């Protein structure tokens, strides 16, 4: 069975600081992995996805994630946080019929 664990339900950073949101997955087959962002009172927006090509994936808004098979991880990073990055972030792995198995989410707060 596939599963996703996001470490840290809440992360707080200063504006300009590094953002690191952690995601570990479990999958019996080569995984396809996704990061979604949800801004307050909005729907889900795809940030980036890993589909077995390059292990370092670049997404929108300056975010990137690195697939590490040995660590079963797909952590999301951004070198310099902006106030507008405050949102909830979800890591997900794709299963049968494109079913997405989501982590519990990490709420990112960015303070001045």
Q: What share of the chain is helix, strand, coil (3-state, %, to 5)?
A: 10, 55, 35
Task: Number of residues interacting with other proteins: please give it, by CB under 8 A.
Answer: 22
CB nearer to other proteins: pick between 7 and 17: 7
Q: What is the 3-state secondary structure (H, E, C) of 12-57?
A: EEECCCCEEEEEEEECCCCCCEEEEEECCCCCEEEEEEECCCCCEE
Contact 50, 23 (CB under 8 A): no
Among 57, 103, 108, 110, binds other proteins (CB under 8 A): 103
Shortest gap between Cβ of 90 and other proteins (angstroms)?
6
Whichever of 63 and 90 has its CB closer to other proteins, that residue is 90
- Cross-strand pairs, 17: none
**Closer Cβ to other proteins, 18 or 39, answer by number:** 39
Token representation of residue 90: 């979800």
Residue among 17 and 100 whose Cβ is closer to other proteins: 100
What are the residues binding other proteins (CB under 8 A)?
4, 9, 32, 42-44, 46, 49, 51-52, 90, 92, 94-95, 97-100, 102-105
């Amino acid at each position: 069975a596939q599963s996703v664990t996001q470490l840290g339900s809440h992360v707080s950073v200063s504006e300009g600081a590094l953002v690191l949101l952690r995601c570990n997955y479990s999958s019996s087959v080569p995984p396809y992995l996704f990061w979604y962002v949800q801004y307050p009172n909005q729907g889900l927006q795809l940030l980036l996805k890993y589909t077995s090509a390059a292990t370092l994936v670049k997404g929108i808004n300056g975010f990137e994630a690195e697939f590490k098979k040995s660590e079963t991880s797909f952590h999301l990073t951004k070198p310099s946080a902006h106030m507008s990055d405050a949102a909830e972030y979800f890591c997900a792995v794709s299963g049968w019929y494109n079913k997405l198995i989501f982590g519990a989410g990490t709420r990112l707060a960015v303070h001045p």
